[in-house]
Amino acid sequence: MSALTRLTLSQRFFFDAAHTLRRDIETEGSRRIHGHTYHAEVSVSGPPDAATGMVIDLGLLRERLQGVRQQLDHRLLDEVPGLGIPTLENLCLFIARALCDMRPAPTQVRVWREALGDACVLAMEDAR
């Protein structure tokens, strides 16, 4: 395999959570506590390890994602430390920050609400 070979692996998880939002449109419903099922996908890219053939052990990635999921699942997102305003954008950033010490580091985080068709993608610079 070429030394330039880069592969991307991804893993998904979901969480159910409630939140409020102060906004100028859909005001009444947004300000009331309401909930969604959120889906998230984290991708990592890099060359496969010569000994294992893996970019990252998926068991390790799943373990780290479970830790993030536990911080968000069945929570009032307004109260999650470090999240800020509970938007899709801030959820992407929160997940990325929680995993920034992984090697390889995440290259993309996507968060979406399937039922509403909303999504946000955070694409990080690919450090080669």
pLDDT at 10 over 90: yes
The pTM score is 0.89
Longest dimension (CA), the chain: 57
Architecture of 7-123 per CATH? 2-Layer Sandwich (3.30)
In angstroms and rounded to an integer, the radius of gyration of the C-alpha atoms of the chain is 16
The count of other CB atoms within 10 Å of the CB of residue 34 is 11
Determine the average pLDDT of the residues in 59-68: 97
pLDDT in tens, 68-113: 999 999 999 999 999 999 999 999 999 999 999 999 999 999 999 9
Given this model, what pLDDT does residue 22 score?
79
Q: Among 10-19, 27-36, 117-126, where is mean pLDDT lowest? A: 27-36
Give the pLDDT band (50/70/90) at residue 3. low
Q: C-alpha 36: how far from its chain's center?
A: 15
Domain boundaries, the chain: 7-123
Q: Among 19-23, 47-51, 98-102, where is mean pLDDT lowest? A: 19-23
pLDDT at 126 over 50: no
